[in-house]
Amino acid sequence: MSNDDGAPRPARRLLHTSDVHLGAYDSGRSEQRDVLRAELEQGFRSIIDKCRIENVDALLIAGDFFDNARVREETLEFAATEIARAEIPVVLLPGNHDHVGSSGSVYDRFDFVGAAPNLHLMRAPGGETVSLGDAEIEVWGRSHTEEEPNFTPFADAPPRGEAAWQIGIGHGHYIHPAAALQHSFHIYETELEAMDRDYVALGHWERLVRVAAGSMTAAYSGAPESLSGSIGGRVLLVDLQEDGSVQLEASSLEDEPSLAHHEIPLLVGVDPETIRRR
Ligand SMILES: [Mn+2]
């Protein structure tokens, strides 16, 4: 597995988030929706602040960045302005709520890369590799298009590339061996192992959890602002360390204590019906 030649690798730090759902409260006007909308935007603003404060080298957004394709124009402008403010490479993988493809994508409404030149918007339905910064990190992912009902984020992913750090990013439902199979966008442990990446950044679940994947690390960051309750509120700082190991820290956006790698829940024996997804 992985890069085992023992040569030291350049230490890097990523920030992993997902399921931001910007624009979820854009339709209709009411005082309550305006409050919720402001909270959602503040969540993303806090993520960009954290990138700047924590010396993050790249930001990964693992799908459902926007809630739908009809969000307000000012939400699109807000998003692009904040991404540009990060001043580091930002990898944005579209999920099922903000899919790309021929049927009305939110990303066709606005020139995001023009407004935020540091943005890497993954649009290739077959999957693509993005090389970041000084080319020590490569990120592979496959975006949702909503044209394939049996979409699988990681099936038949290409082998590792040449860069020191090999990262996967995907938006889908991790299939725990105990899980029922009716969910969509399946991600299997065998696929994660076959990808042979150093870290896989997952989205689609609002909940923060590591998933068992052999000797590699794969995790859901959870949503920065939960649309359905008290879960969420954290992002994952991903330290790629010189010895080749990957260390996570779940950092709060609301002044809660951080969770160290071993304190982040690991998916074992959980009832899959308790996991909220959008
Ligand atoms: Mn989703």
What's the gap in Å between 205 CA and the centre of ligand 1?
7
Is 3 part of a structural domain of the chain? no
How many A from CA of 169 to the centre of ligand 1? Answer: 13
What is the number of other CB atoms lying within 10 angstroms of the CB of residue 215? 9
pLDDT in tens, 190-219: 888 888 999 999 999 888 999 865 678 999
Structural domain including 193 reads 12-274
Do 178 and 267 contact (CB within 8 A), yes or no?
no
Q: What is the pLDDT of residue 104?
A: 86
H-state helical runs in the chain: 31-53, 73-86, 112-115, 189-195
Question: What is the 92 CA–ligand 1 centroid distance (Å)?
Answer: 14
Judge whether 7 lies within some domain: no
Report the pLDDT value the prediction gives residue 33, as an integer from 0 to 100.
92
Sites in the chain below the pLDDT cut of 50: 1, 270, 272
Q: Is residue 163 part of a domain?
A: yes
Segment 146-181, tens digit of pLDDT: 877 789 999 999 999 999 999 999 999 888 765 555
CA–centroid distance, 3 to ligand 1, in Å, is 31
Structurally, the chain folds into a number of domains equal to 1
- Is the residue at 1 inside a domain? no
**What local confidence, expressed as pLDDT, does residue 269 receive?**
52
Whether 243 is covered by a domain: the verdict is: yes
Please report whether residue 181 resides in a domain.
Answer: yes
What is the average pLDDT value for the chain, to the nearest integer?
A: 89
Q: Which two tokens stand for residue 82?
A: 């904040």
Q: How far is the CA of 173 from the centre of ligand 1 (A)?
A: 9
Centroid of ligand 1 to alpha carbon of 268 (angstroms): 22
Q: What is the CATH number of the domain that holds 243?
A: 3.60.21.10
**Cα 272 to ligand 1 centroid, rounded to whole Å:** 16
Q: What is the pTM of this model?
A: 0.89
Give distance in angstroms: CA of 100 to centre of ligand 1: 13
Q: What is the pLDDT of residue 157?
A: 95
Residue 2 included in any domain: no
